[in-house]
Structure 1
Amino acid sequence: MTTTYAALLRGINVGGHRKLPMADLRTLMEGLGYGAVRTHLQSGQAVFTTGDGDETSLAATLERAIEGHFGFTVDVIVRDHAYLRAIVDDCPFPAAELEPRQLHVTYYSAPVDAARFADVDQPAHLPEEFRLGDRALYLYAPDGLGRSKLAEQLARPRLTKGLIATARNWNTVLKLAELTSPQP
């Protein structure tokens, strides 16, 4: 059985560093035997199909292939359509009432619990807020991510220690769920 996945690459094509052209990424992934490979934007999203492996092994395979081909390491998280759709459906904020730039999801490589974020003083950051989901953190930043003091605090290494974490804006979250949806 073939499953459609999204690969989320962390920290590529930002500020001229770790340049990874999407056409080259597509070619690399096709060379790994993945089907229906498509990329979205230049910031590291690829959609593909395969009948082999699971999210963890697919991410590890892609990380090794990128390092071998491009000469630098890139953290990768792979998620299937059911997960990506659940992220959209389970959003604790009124996404339809917000501007997409106000809502972000940080995807984690493993589950995170509230204890990890216990010392984050949420009331001090209001009206900004965050909520935890399944291997994800939803962030409401009314003035956008670039001005968010809460986002800055949530990205501190001590809160992400031992995890891969990569954030996407709400438009990209929606697009990934759409791109991975089963095709008729």
Structure 2
Amino acid sequence: MKTHLALLRGINVSGHNMIKMEALKTTLEAVGFQNVQTYIQSGNVFVDTEEENPAAVGFKIKQEIFKAFGHEVPIVVIGKSDLEACFKNNPFLKEKDLDIKKLYVAFISTTLKSESINDLKMSQVKPDDASIDGTKIYIKYAVGAGKTRFDQKYIEKKLNVTATIRNWNTVTQLLQLYEER
């Protein structure tokens, strides 16, 4: 059995794509996922399965969500090592006087090259800052996530990828949950 973490994008936001986590858990268990565990209403779902391929797991979850709830939900599936890398490779964690509340991670559907940072045209979203690390973009917002153009839609448009963003507190909690499994 392998544990996967599915990060669902855009559910239960401002009354759109509403999915109760208990109903999602029941739906995923009904199609064979085991040890299904959700974390907060924004769509973080741990599943155990024999399937090794994260993309296949994401595709199956996406299909089941559409069948059960009628929502087309983009999903990025990550492993424990992806979360561990956030703590090891996030360059903003080295900064003195860092406000953790302004630190986020965008999880990306495909591996990015370091030169992809040029495609983000960061000068258009300054003073926000970002750093690319494979399938993650570490983000440090100057003011906050609610007052920026540098959001998931911006990232997806500039890089032609699927992206979903989590704040640093959620990333920390998800790693802790992974370790408890």
Q: TM-score, normalised by structure 1?
A: 0.86
CA contact (8 A) 1:37 1:48 kept: yes
The two structures, once aligned, show a CA RMSD in angstroms of 2.3
Q: What does residue 164 of structure 2 align with? A: 166
Q: Residues 27-55 of structure 1, C-alpha deviation per residue, up to 9 Å, x if partnerless?
A: 11111222221111111111122222310
State the shift of 1:153 in Å: 9.2
**2 CA distance for matches of 1:137 and 1:159?**
13
Measure, in 1, the Cα distance between the counterparts of 2:48 and 2:94: 28
Deviation at 1:157, TM superposition (A): 4.6
CA distance in 2, matches of 1:129, 1:51: 39
- How many matched pairs? 180
Q: Give SS of 1:77's match.
A: strand
Q: Tell me which residue corresponds to 1:107.
A: 107
Change (3 A) 1:143 1:33: same
- Counterparts of 1:121-140 in structure 2, within 5 Å, are 121-122=121-122, 126-140=126-140
The aligned counterpart of 1:48 is: 47
Helix, strand or coil: the match of 1:29? helix
Structure 1, residues 14-72: CA drift from partner, whole Å, max 9, x if none?
11111111111111111122222111111111112222231010000000111111112
Identify the residue that residue 118 of structure 1 maps to in structure 2.
Answer: 118
Instruction: Name the amino acid aligned to 1:170.
Output: W
CA distance in 2, matches of 1:170, 1:45: 14
Residue type matched to 2:177 in 1?
L
2:59 pairs with 1:60: yes
The 3 A distance-change label for structure 1 pair 122 and 76 is closer
Q: CA deviation at 1:100?
A: 3.0
Mark the runs of 5 or more structure 2 residues left unpaired by the alignment. none
Corresponding residue SS for 1:66: helix
- Give the number of the structure with larger relative contact order, counting CA–CA contacts within 8 Å between residues 6 or more apart: 1
Normalising to structure 2: TM-score of the pair?
Answer: 0.88
Say if 2:117 and 2:132, in contact at 8 Å, map to a contact too: no
CA distance in 1 between counterparts of 2:3 and 2:119 reads: 38
* Counterpart residue number, 1:19: 18
Distance 1:22 1:95, change over 3 A: farther
Partner secondary structure for residue 12 of structure 2: coil
1:74 equivalenced with 2:76 (yes/no): no
After TM superposition, give the deviation of residue 6 of structure 1 in Å: 0.9
- Residue type at the aligned position of 2:98: L
Return closer, same or farther for 1:15/1:90 CA change in 2, 3 Å cut-off: same
Specify the SS of the correspondent of 1:180. Answer: helix
Partner of 2:84: 85
Structure 1 residue 86: Cα displacement: 1.4
Report the residue type matching 1:143 in the other structure. V
- Give SS of 1:132's match: strand
Distance 1:14 1:57 in 2: 26
Structure 1: distance between partners of 2:121 and 2:131: 13
SS of the equivalent of 1:19 reads coil
